[in-house]
Structure 1
Amino acid sequence: MARWAYAEVQRTIPMAVGKQVRLFLVDGTPGGMLTAEIMNWTGHVIAASRSDLAELLRREEVQRTGIYVLLGYGVEDPDETLIYIGEGDNVGERLKMHLKPEDKGGKDFWNRAIVLTSKDANLTKAHARYLESRFINISKAAGRTTVTNGTAPPPLPLPEADRSDMEYFIEQAKIILPVLGVDALRSLPTPSEVAGSQTGTGSASPVFEMTLTNLGITAYAQETDGEFAVLEGSAARPAWVGTNHAYDKLHQKLIAAGVLIADGPAARFEKTHVFKSPSAAGAVIAGRTTNGRTSWRVPSTGMTYGQWQEQGIPLPEGK
């Protein structure tokens, strides 16, 4: 079981360096093709549904060297996000190939494509292959999506300056892709990172704790960049004991996926897992529904998650 040192926590609003992301809805509709750019970055991103592929292929950007991400959902589990990452000297030609049926070398699962190229057309084939390899490995390490690539080619040995440029490209992609709803490259907090962020400053909260004293079960969680994640090594009840609920299915799903592993009288989080809410996380820990705003607390102060959220918000007069 992982252990962390705790400190008194005051919620502060740090001086952050912002990023300007420019989105353009090509046909003026939220579900249509869109382009995305970050100010002072030479990268260019364009996203479209499979239904809009004909229009996408007419775009000059997709005739360049670059990488692409195909996205879809699992058949048996509609919450499972599937991705395929590829590269090409002419990305458009590669996308055409993926329109073929599976038995002819195409891909059936995807319903959306995202293309990343460079506005200055300076990406080479070697750059694209480096980015493809790094995107695949980062996505697999993050574990948020199911990467359908059969292999992950090793990164090409680029010159030092080129490698630095490509790593900067990746860092910008990590910012812009989540804005488009793609979290494949978004890393999860790790215990070592958490240990150094006990002040709750930056985009990370303090570490919260939830304990089932009579069962000897303790779990740890942290909100990072707007996501509530239960940390690797946390314990949970091994079976659902509450009334029928959607969280019952979530509990079973995490066990089936190997996120929760039986460990004696308790189950253990084999890896950090992001939940849609602190209540969903709390329900999986407790094996029954619970109010996550009150069940998660800062150990050193007893402050609840809800109280932490409300720090610094002035109450109405008379309250």
Structure 2
Amino acid sequence: MTQRPRTIQIFLPAGDPRGIRVAALTTNIVQVIEVPRPLMSQFLQMPESRQVGVYYLIGDDEEKDRPAVYIGQTGALGKRLNEHDLDPKREFWNRALVAISLTHSLTQTHAMYLEWRGIQQANSAQRYLVENGNAGSKPHTPAWLEADCQEIFDTIRTLVATMGQPVFEPLATRRDVMDGPGGAHLEIATKPDAQVSVRCKGAGVEAVGDYTEEGMVILKGSRARADVAKSMIPMSAGKNRQRLIDIGDLRLDGESYVFQRDVLFGSPSGASDVVLGRSSNGWMEWKDSSGKTLDELKRQKAVATGVLR
């Protein structure tokens, strides 16, 4: 998706920032409406609830300890969301994001393609557990209509992220393949200066990570020590490591654990602690191919350029 400056307005129908919110690009006909589940009755009274659209049910998968999303489409949004609200099999969600057209120009064909595209992108991004499973087969869509749908999806993607739900945003994007730990091939990001690719090495293990604006992302295929220092077990890093093992993001392979997907950590040290199995200073442990530490690459560079005061 092309990044460019955009203006987004958010309308509060009831004046409550915690209630229903309506987001739209000022130059676009697509709207995304955020509906907290307890306020479903209010949405059913809105004319938008009778439109064709695509929707995203957002919540948490307690077993996997990850945010979850269910993506659907319908010709009558209010009716369909009300069915989900009453369905005991869909208890996980606590808010719905609904995408519609201000000009009522979305058709069922648009909606079916947007549903498929959304499931595909959410699975690719790996931030949320996608309750739908895989994306299934691509619906038959004429080339000209597919182009329209892709533009609509790009707008929805921006608005959904603006609402605080980065369902479609990869943790690390625009990737190139490079050799990873043990000769395995890893995909690492080649994003602009804001993102730095680095490695963390320990006894028999190696991890590749991207330092991003959100934190440190350890890439799928990286390896972490199987044993940990006893002092780390009761600490937050030790508990987080055990959580990753319990939910299957870290899987034992021989004498080390392998990351099964890209995993975001809030800090470089939180990430290196899990990899090395001990307390560590991530700013010093993560290094680029020339041996420069993350501290040199980001913090000292920021001070030198006057970014930090």
TM-score range, shorter chain: 0.7 to 0.9
Of the three residues 268, 271, 283, the one matched with 1:281 is 271
Question: Are residues 38 and 67 of structure 1, via their aligned partners in 2, closer, same or farther at CA, if it must alter by over 3 Å?
Answer: same
Aligned partner of 2:293 in structure 1 is 303
1:33-66: CA deviation from partner (whole Å, max 9, x where unpaired): 1111123222100002111111111222222110
What letter matches 2:77 in structure 1?
Answer: V
Aligned partner of 2:25 in structure 1 is 38
Aligned-residue CA RMSD in angstroms? 2.7
More RCO (CA 8 Å, sep 6+): 1
> In structure 2, the residue corresponding to 1:250 is in which secondary structure?
helix
Alignment map for 1:70-219 (pairs within 5 Å): 70-76=57-63, 79-102=65-88, 107-149=90-132, 152-189=135-172, 192-193=175-176, 201=192, 203=194, 205-212=195-202, 215-219=203-207
For 2:295 and 2:191, the matched residues in 1 are separated by: 12
> In structure 1, the residue corresponding to 2:238 is in which secondary structure?
helix
Q: Is the 8 A contact 1:219 1:231 kept in 2?
A: yes
Q: Is the 8 A contact 1:207 1:222 kept in 2?
A: yes
| TM-score (ref. length: structure 2) | 0.85
Q: Is the 8 A contact 2:176 2:189 kept in 1?
A: no
For 1:89 and 1:119, the matched residues in 2 are separated by: 15
Aligned partner of 2:184 in structure 1 is none
What letter matches 2:229 in structure 1?
Answer: V
1:267-301: CA deviation from partner (whole Å, max 9, x where unpaired): 22232222222222112111123232332222315
Q: Is the 8 A contact 1:242 1:287 kept in 2?
A: no
Question: Are residues 69 and 242 of structure 1, via their aligned partners in 2, closer, same or farther at CA, if it must alter by over 3 Å?
Answer: same
Question: Are residues 110 and 221 of structure 1, via their aligned partners in 2, closer, same or farther at CA, if it must alter by over 3 Å?
Answer: same
Q: Is the 8 A contact 1:191 1:231 kept in 2?
A: no
1:67 aligns with 2:67: no
Q: Is the 8 A contact 2:63 2:247 kept in 1?
A: no
What letter matches 1:201 in structure 2?
Answer: P
Q: Is the 8 A contact 1:229 1:274 kept in 2?
A: yes
For 1:264 and 1:235, the matched residues in 2 are separated by: 11
Aligned partner of 1:239 in structure 2 is 227
For 1:24 and 1:224, the matched residues in 2 are separated by: 30
> In structure 2, the residue corresponding to 1:140 is in which secondary structure?
helix
Q: Is the 8 A contact 1:139 1:185 kept in 2?
A: yes
Q: Is the 8 A contact 1:129 1:155 kept in 2?
A: no
Identity %: 28
What letter matches 2:68 in structure 1?
Answer: L
Flag structure 1 segments of 5+ consecutive residues without an equivalent.
Answer: 1-15
For 2:25 and 2:296, the matched residues in 1 are separated by: 34
| TM-score (ref. length: structure 1) | 0.82
Flag structure 2 segments of 5+ consecutive residues without an equivalent.
Answer: 179-186
What letter matches 2:41 in structure 1?
Answer: A
Q: Is the 8 A contact 2:287 2:294 kept in 1?
A: yes
